[in-house]
A and B are shown apart, each in its own frame.
Chain A
């Protein structure tokens, strides 16, 4: 079985903005958080950003909802740290307007009235420009020493269906004013997103629909001149059957008497019903393994570096995030 190239490439190591997308339900936020921890390993400082207003990072790290500021959320092995930021488009717009107009008290009132929602409805691209604008500001910000404040920024981006629209600031700007401050800012965003400093990673499961969406997104990213990074295959389960038995078992051919005698030699004397149940489970497992192999082959078409993350049967908690981060580091993430 041809396996896609694995591991993190040199090119990815140079990226400073890691955009993480994926179909809903693939574990995009989990992967983004684990990636942030992995990148912070060894003493680096990483910012993990979310933009969809659902406080996924806070839930994942079991924290109270994040305010609109950069908060330390975890320390990484070797003295690194991860900070987190939930960007609120309304706050970003006001912050942004404040740079050019002194809105003061009026800004807050307008916000209460829904003026911001209104402005972003008027020009849907505006919301995305503001969000990516804030992300760019974090990526480019430098400290007093002139060094970048963050060694890397990880963005938990909108799902695959919307991500290109989200990142394609040039297109969004077509709706907006051709002059003025926001134009100047967006030019900088465009430059960052289309440069080697940015990589767009795709989280997927080994299932038909997520894989198809991943491939569609890769084509769309290429079309928009954005750079696909790695494919993060999430929740990979170990294949248990010997490779040679998979095809037969998936077709329903499991030698029940061989299973029975094997179990007996292990000291398990099970009734017919239990053996039948085990055989049925085996058939289902084999069908799944076959589908996963098919999904892997399809993914290989994307010709992108691939990193697998295992299924965690006990669910994802903070400890599990560290476990996933460690695996990412082992697979070359830095």
Chain B
């Protein structure tokens, strides 16, 4: 029943290669993206590279283990007793609001920038629009690359339901901010959208009225002021997003797709792999995270049969328990293997590495080091 064997993802060869400059870790929520990104960064630093890891929304204890106590939006070197890597490890946590503010400040004159920052509509967009975090992660990545001081940048991606959000959200945000619609709605009288108006006809007036009834005139007014102030910068914004997108396609950048050995996570991983290939983006491989390989070669059937015998005799409860838990583990491992094999059948060329689960949660550098070892197949 063995299918095709996928090529093995060689993490050490990847992070040792001086040509590898940016690694983007993506995958659906809850698969261990942040931890994997941090573990790769730890290992790269240990192997001599000057590494920075950009985390998005790390669990508190993981953040603490990297010396990150708050969002400070610029990399800090990780220095703890007993951690003496050959290279360097720096870490940072994305502060999306500040990244956005900095962007505005960099693109608009001081007065105009202040006007924008104070606008209530800007405050909504910069904190709660669903694409902002992704856009800002890209922006921050662009800045780190422009710094030029890093051998390797490892990026975690925002926790989202779907891994594709990372690619689509910046585009969505640009569209919304840049759209003709915002102009027409905020100032329909002098908008240049006559062509559309002709199609939509009187319905448009109604829609404007409806929207304004629902969201309130004040909000539309704020939006209008915002767009006018934003207009001059917009070219800059879009270009910038475009440039970062290009960066993701350039040599030196690679995507690692992280998935748990679960149907949903692997389905998302499949979508992502297909999308990357459609966009000509460099896929490095799949990390099948938190697997439970069997550690003893004994079949589940035999284990159950022997446990049955022991339990009937009321004998050796410890040995019976050991046999049962081994059989459970065989079942889990079989299921994981089946699911991963299904992924490989659909994507036979994608390199893959399985990372056996640690029995405990990871929240210190030792744990990250151990995951790094497992990633490298040690």
List residues of A whose CB falls within 8 A of some B CB: 23-26, 52, 54, 59, 97, 100-107, 109-110, 113-115, 117-119, 121-124, 126, 159, 175-178, 180-182, 207-209, 237-238, 240-242, 245, 254-255, 258-259, 261-263, 265-268, 270, 273-285, 287-288, 291, 313-316
Contact = CB atoms under 8 A, between A and B. Distances in A.
A114 B360 contact: no
17 contacts: A24-B29, A25-B31, A25-B265, A106-B204, A118-B182, A124-B124, A124-B129, A209-B59, A209-B361, A254-B318, A255-B318, A258-B319, A262-B315, A265-B319, A280-B295, A288-B359, A313-B332
Contacts of A102: 206
A27 B146 CA distance: 41
A292 to B, nearest CB: 11
Contacts of A103: 203, 206-207, 210
Say what secondary structure dominates the interface of chain B. helix
B318 A284 contact: no
B199 to A, nearest CB: 6
B161 A119 contact: no
Contact of A181 (B182, B213, B306, B310): B213
Interface of B: 28-31, 59, 121, 124-125, 128-130, 159, 161-162, 172, 175-176, 179, 181-182, 185, 196, 199-204, 206-207, 209-211, 213-216, 219-220, 223, 260, 262-265, 267, 294-298, 302, 306-307, 309-310, 313, 315-326, 328-329, 331-332, 335, 339, 359-361
A101 B206 contact: yes
B361 A119 contact: no
B207 A106 contact: yes
Given A24-B28, A281-B326, A282-B325, A105 B181 contact: no
Nearest to A110: B207
Contacts of A121: 125, 129, 176
Contacts of A180: 213-214
Given A265-B310, A266-B315, A281-B295, 18 more contacts: A54-B161, A101-B209, A106-B201, A106-B207, A109-B199, A118-B185, A121-B176, A123-B219, A124-B128, A207-B361, A208-B361, A240-B325, A259-B319, A263-B316, A266-B316, A267-B306, A282-B321, A315-B263
Say what secondary structure dominates the interface of chain A. helix
A177 B161 CA distance: 30
Contacts, number: 217
A25 B209 CA distance: 42
B361 A262 contact: no
A114 B207 contact: no
Given A110-B203, A287-B359, A291-B360, A122 B317 contact: no
B328 A237 contact: yes
Given A119-B211, A240-B321, A270-B298, A106 B310 contact: no
A287 B360 contact: yes
Contacts of A262: 310, 315-316, 318-320, 322
